[in-house]
Structure 1
Amino acid sequence: MSHDNNTNRLDAAGGLQPPSPDLPHKENEDEGTIVDTESLSSDTTARAKQEGIKPAFLAKVEVLNHAIAEIGMGRYQYELFVSGGFGWFADNIWLQGIAIIMPAVANEWRGYPTVRLATLALYVGLIIGATFWGCSCDIIGRRLAWNSTLFIGAVFGIAAGAANNFVTFCAMIACCGFGVGGNMPVDGTMFLEFLPGSHQYLLTLLSVWWAVGQVVASLIAWGFLARWGCETPAAGTFCKKEDNMGWRYTYYTLGAMMLFLWAVRFFVLPVYESPKFLASIGKDHEAVEVIHKMAKRNGKTVELTVDDLYRAAAPHLTADEKLAQENDRSATTKFSTWELVKNSFDNLSADHVTALFSTKRLAWSTTLITFCYAALGLAYPLYNGFLGTYLAQKNAELGNMNLNDTYASYTYQAACGIPGSIVAAFMVDWSRSGRKVAMAVFTLCAGIFLFGLTASRTQVQVNALTSMAAFFENAFYGVLYGYAPELFPTPSRGTGDAICSAASRITGLFAPIIAVYSKAALTPNGPVYASASIFVATACVMLLLPVETRGRTAL
């Protein structure tokens, strides 16, 4: 990136040097040609209108994307992949944590089917958490949610393990869900906004952490519940607490693990605020500072200046906006975290939501992707949310009453989700299929194998079919959670992810209701058949999405 010597640069102390005057044309030093800025401005305006964002922001984000590409993939992004993975890991840890311990909780307290309402409590927390953290990250910023969600989930997860009655257990699980609900919409958004366009496939690969979370939860539960679990008691009786401590030990361990990961994220792998978010709210000098910090962390240098962003945005600004830009460029006032929070909420409005429907293509994309999240949000927990119960009932039908067999089956299928995420990352970037086709194929295959599961007659068939279903489920979720953040522009990305996640969690509320009150739920195959049908239908809808994000750097 070439620049004039008198442009506004960060000096050694981090201050800003005086800017150079605006120029109507800019000389290309490599070719000695003159670039018509009026033509570039017209192109930017047309593209911004299509994407549903302001031309000034599009101009700035293209400069930032160029700087991030110039820095390249390095230490900071790999650290972000690990610490961001903690959030995805935590999300599935607690989703699987409630599913795995369900038989043990039923044995101690309420029995079937009422105990399944604990899943309802978790989803209430997830809905509130996804909405709050996802929307607030477009107002306050990504960093506060990033540093809070793991801690909240850990504390209340441990508290749930110490609950002495079912109502308290449900309350603690709901509070845990409030923290956990912010992980998926916020962590993917943060990671994407630091990635060079050539490495956006890593957002799909991030789902491998989600699969690992399921494996870890399965192994921990298997160890504790098989050793300290109570076998299903006779009808009308319940297990004593001291004979059924396995699920509590499971929750203590999962909560302690989350606390450890939060400490690593907060103290060992600290993050910077997203430069694209900062640019979207006019904090250009802070965005430039972050780019330079990231470059330093990667062992690189970059010549980006505040004046570069100003030059890019200037043709698209009104007189008042230019004055605001000038004031921001010379600002030196530092605010406390609480002052930043209060100042950010001054901008609270519905603009982030309406922006997602500002053009016909964006409105259609937002509507369809939200539908896909909602449909899969019902289908996935309808099967996976009660998989522990399903396997216990299925094993009983096959004459296998051993708890060890049930949790072994659960662990086998969980492990098969890991290669699913890896294959998904390959398919979205290194094959010609792109995001939409890969996502649809994986979803269709998951439905097909679940249909097969309803006809299984042996333990080997059950294990094989649940394992293949897990492979394709983790694959389509990996693509889905990578595609949606790429689809939404930065100013409303968190809100878009929040809407999708909330839709997924809201429909997920119906899974325990169906499991409790549906006649189909009286047999283990009923919810599985319903889940498979939804997967197949959703795969068809995915092909109607109007935007293919493969090869496109996120705005």
Structure 2
Amino acid sequence: MTQSQTPKGSLKKVPSDLEKDGVVTVLPGVLVDEAYAHAEGIDPVFMAKASVINSALEECGMGRFQWELFTSAGFGYFSDNIWLQSIAIIMPYVAIEDHFPGYPKIRMATFAMYCGLVPGALFWGMTADVIGRRLAWNSTLFISAVFGLAAGASPNFYVLCVMLALNGIGTAGNMVLDGAVFLEFIPSTHKYLITLLSAWWAVGQVVASLICWVFIEKYSCDTERVGIDGYRCDRNTNPGWRYSMYTLGAMMLFLWALRMFVLPMQESPKFLVSIGQDEEAVRVIHYIAKRNGRTSTLTVEQLHKAAEGYETSPSEAKEQRTLTNWDLAKRSFSHFNLDHIKGLFATRRLAFSSGLIIAIFGALGLAYPLYNGFLSGFLQAKGAERGDTSVSATYSSYTYQAACGIPGSIAATFLVEWGRGGRKFAGAFFTVGAGAFLFGLTAVRSAASVNALTCMAAFFENAFYGVIYAIAPETFPTPHRGTGDALAGGFQRLCGAFAPILAVYSPAANSPNGPVFSAAAIFIVAGLAMLALPIETRGRTTY
């Protein structure tokens, strides 16, 4: 029986030119099970080529290129949290300025940002599967920086909301794609580093807290003098929150320049082979090897031979290999349809997995801003209960808990590789733990107790976000990974948009403990749901 006649469901070895000019290459032949490929919703041609790419990445090793990419991808995680947290931190001081509404209406500024985060997550994620990862990678930080700067100059509440929404469109592309892009460039032995990326998220929260603390404490209105002897709280006497936005925007602009010009991204080789650009994929692999001080033996012929026997027809294979860049661009936009969404639900097992991941993202997307989005107000309320409403008391507590998220990421990185647990157990453990500490937080009053429990909650929160943002891209197949991340991220943001609405109009908002209690309950339910995920990605090859 010839290779092309091998029945579906059998194992077939992908040729790899094991010997060339008497020299044996280090790229091994790979086995592709067509039944397994169809069960996972992956095109066998792509799986065969991706297996060769995986071997080539192992050959390139974990070196300078990947560590630079880890840093550059971290900028996106950093940006995502720095904007979400800064809005939460500055709201109490925006609310006391002329031309801006007070509480609770000021919380709708957070809702405005989510109005940009939702379409942004969907747009950047879905375009990544159509026209590639580089557009979002090179655009998102710049967009968030420009409109973050503009938000600082807002003359009134309505302009501020528009600027935050536009900022959200750019910010949303970071978490949706950065982890997925990093996954597609690292050897399988180092996939745990995707979880460690969340440390950048915690660093973003710390930086936002410190910057806002410095400016707000020094350049904000004296709330005790407002309305006395003609004293007004306007942009001249209350520039602290604006200085914070200017500083953060300038910082993001600097990070964008680093990402764009100093640490330029290469297009994902797996994405390239998925659209037939085998030669470009080989060029990228050779670039990675050179950057790491190594030599790659990958050739275009190896990719072509890998696909032999899996293509539906020889003419289709030949056509795919001879497409010009313009043809590929036209074909990409012609494929802007539901195929990538259908690919996430191609089988019962994959459909259940994709659906549950999206639902978990939604639950966490609602619970996290219910607590963290209004944490500064919660801390102020707790301070008022014990007679301490100073800026330093509030923001020192905020900074302490933010810093505790960094070791949380490190702990999660170790636990996801634990042989008896893996990704699902780690995600459930940290998510349920975060909920438990939030329940405890609603019952304490002393400064020491509040700081201790907020720190532990931040530790567990950052850990579970690191885990879930690793599970999603590892589970979704590469041809549909951007779309999967878009649906998960988009639903997460959509649910998050209800947090400020609940915080303004829900009866639970009458008490500072109400949103915290609700977030705790959602965390526990979401954590238990993680145990039901049908696919454990620890030690699993990513296609």
TM-score range (shorter-chain normalised) is: over 0.9
TM-score, reference length from structure 1: 0.90
Q: 2:304: which partner in 1?
A: 310
Distance 1:173 1:471 in 2: 28
Distance 2:280 2:382 in 1: 57
Counterpart pick for 2:474 among 481, 486, 506:
486
Task: Please tell me whether residue 347 in structure 1 is matched to residue 315 in structure 2.
Answer: no
Residues 29/275 of structure 1: CA separation in 2 closer, same or farther (3 Å cut): closer
Task: Please tell me whether residue 326 in structure 1 is matched to residue 326 in structure 2.
Answer: no
TM-score, reference length from structure 2: 0.92
| 1:95 partner letter | L
| 2:157 partner letter | F
- Residues 162-241 of structure 1 mapped to structure 2, 5 A cutoff: 162-232=153-223, 239-241=233-235
- Residues 44-193 of structure 1 mapped to structure 2, 5 A cutoff: 44-108=33-97, 109-193=100-184
Distance 1:334 1:130 in 2: 27
Q: Secondary structure at the match of 1:107?
A: coil
Task: Please tell me whether residue 474 in structure 1 is matched to residue 462 in structure 2.
Answer: yes
Distance 2:432 2:17 in 1: 53
Counterpart pick for 1:284 among 274, 278, 294:
278
Please tell me whether the aligned partners of residues 311 and 317 of structure 2 are also in contact (alpha carbons under 8 angstroms).
Answer: no
Distance 2:312 2:279 in 1: 20
Distance 2:233 2:116 in 1: 28
Residues 406/301 of structure 1: CA separation in 2 closer, same or farther (3 Å cut): same
Q: Secondary structure at the match of 1:139?
A: coil
Tell me by how many angstroms 1:325 deviates: 3.2
**% identity of equivalent residues:** 59
Structure 2: any 5+ residue segments left out of the alignment? 1-12, 21-28
Counterpart pick for 2:367 among 368, 375, 379:
379
Structure 1: any 5+ residue segments left out of the alignment? 1-22, 31-38
Please tell me whether the aligned partners of residues 44 and 58 of structure 1 are also in contact (alpha carbons under 8 angstroms).
Answer: no
Residues 56/214 of structure 1: CA separation in 2 closer, same or farther (3 Å cut): same
Residues 468/488 of structure 1: CA separation in 2 closer, same or farther (3 Å cut): same
| 1:376 partner letter | L
Q: 1:7: which partner in 2?
A: none
Please tell me whether the aligned partners of residues 233 and 239 of structure 1 are also in contact (alpha carbons under 8 angstroms).
Answer: no
Counterpart pick for 2:498 among 510, 520, 527:
510
Q: 2:538: which partner in 1?
A: 550
Q: 1:447: which partner in 2?
A: 435
Distance 2:349 2:441 in 1: 38
Tell me by how many angstroms 1:326 deviates: 2.7
Q: 1:392: which partner in 2?
A: 380
Distance 1:435 1:380 in 2: 20
Q: Secondary structure at the match of 2:417?
A: helix
Residues 27/343 of structure 1: CA separation in 2 closer, same or farther (3 Å cut): closer
Please tell me whether the aligned partners of residues 17 and 302 of structure 2 are also in contact (alpha carbons under 8 angstroms).
Answer: no
Q: 1:539: which partner in 2?
A: 527
| 1:397 partner letter | E
Task: Please tell me whether residue 254 in structure 1 is matched to residue 248 in structure 2.
Answer: yes
**Which segment is superposed worse, 387-396 or 195-204?**
387-396
Please tell me whether the aligned partners of residues 476 and 484 of structure 2 are also in contact (alpha carbons under 8 angstroms).
Answer: yes
Distance 1:318 1:518 in 2: 57
Q: 1:437: which partner in 2?
A: 425
Q: 1:521: which partner in 2?
A: 509
Tell me by how many angstroms 1:44 deviates: 2.0
Q: 1:410: which partner in 2?
A: 398
Q: Secondary structure at the match of 2:33?
A: helix
Tell me by how many angstroms 1:444 deviates: 0.6
Cα deviation per residue 1:281-330 (whole Å; 9 max; x = unaligned)? 111111111111111111111111111111111111122xx334334545
Distance 1:453 1:513 in 2: 23
Please tell me whether the aligned partners of residues 139 and 344 of structure 1 are also in contact (alpha carbons under 8 angstroms).
Answer: yes
Counterpart pick for 1:275 among 266, 269, 273:
269
Q: 2:25: which partner in 1?
A: none
Instruction: Please provide the CA RMSD for this pair.
Output: 2.1
Distance 1:76 1:26 in 2: 25
Distance 2:491 2:322 in 1: 42
Count of residue pairs brought into register by the alignment: 519
